Amino acid sequence: MIQKRSPDGTCVARRARAWSAAVTTPPPGSPTPDDLARSTVASPTGAAVIPSPAALVPGRFHIAPGLRDMMFASFFFALMGVLVKEVDSRLPVQHAVFARSLIGLILSYALIRRAKLHWLGNRPKLLGLRGLFGFLALLCNFGSLSLMPLSDATVLHQTQPIWTTVFAAIFLAEPTNRRIWLATLVSLTGVVLVARPEFIFGAGATPALHWAGPVLALLAALMSACAYVSVRALRRTDDPLIVVFWFALVATPLSFPAVLADPVMPSAYDLLVLVGIGITVQIAQLLMTRALHREAAGRVTAVGYTQVVFAFAFGALFFGEALTLLSAAGALLVIVGAAIVSIRRTGATPVPPVRSA
């Protein structure tokens, strides 16, 4: 058999085989097909699957989508805290809980109808348990915000990543590593520096706290951790929209009797604030639920520490709280802790081809 040679004398067939091996054999450390599948996005027409920008650029730093969702959720949770503080002096806390639940129920039902999903879900018992945990966390959190400064309530509530990591390891067998625990410790240290709670820094650092405020904030952290773990357990069976809908479905009837027991007619301005609470928490819940569907619970909740930075910024903006050296140092530690778990470095991998349908 006569083999055709190129002008430089190299056998064309041999060069073709070498090129095929170089293209089809991935170098050591390259992502598996499952990794590439997670780093691709469907084209708008559905005719092809296109690699995501992070997969296209080798050696670049990027933030995992689930952790980015949690950062935005933290922003809206902090904004919710501002709105609750704004209305708590004129309305009982149960009114804010009911308004948030009712608005969330309406919005969630509209979203699942639009997505053509059945509201019952696939695991209604676990969905109901998640809703109960969420309601208790919401009630305790709003109660602590009405009794404590925004920063103090936030620092105690932000102990929930520790409980979430522990509960996820126990009940879901999710692995933990030193990186997650280091990030949790660094961020928690920053949270304490930002809030400077009285029980650590003394009576001169912050106004005196009623004992019920810290207790409610810690209970909110524990209930939030239970809710996060249940959301994580539901990630393979139920859509995030269904999970958020069940939270509002359980919380609305449970919060209504307390409103009847202490009826207060809100003003037009208070109604507007209550609607704002419902919308901001609804957005935060959707983002948080999607984050927990995408990433391990310990990593997601560690990034949730960024809520403290947002809360302090809103406190300075809306309530005139001054920035101190300790607060600046604490905010920096919170950001560093979130970065430890959220930022990855992609390897120098070849660009996968576009797969046509």
Q: Is the pLDDT at 90 greater than 80, yes or no?
A: yes
Q: Is the pLDDT at 21 greater than 60, yes or no?
A: no
Residue 11 has a pLDDT of 54
Quick: pLDDT tens for 211-265. 777 788 889 989 998 998 998 899 889 998 999 999 999 999 999 998 888 888 8
**Residue 48 buriedness (CB in 10 A; 0-12 / 13-18 / 19+):** middle
Q: What is the mean pLDDT of residues 346-352?
A: 39
Quick: pLDDT tens for 258-280. 888 888 888 999 999 999 999 99
Sign of the torsion formed by the C-alpha atoms of 203, 223, 97 and 279: positive
Residue 142 has a pLDDT of 86
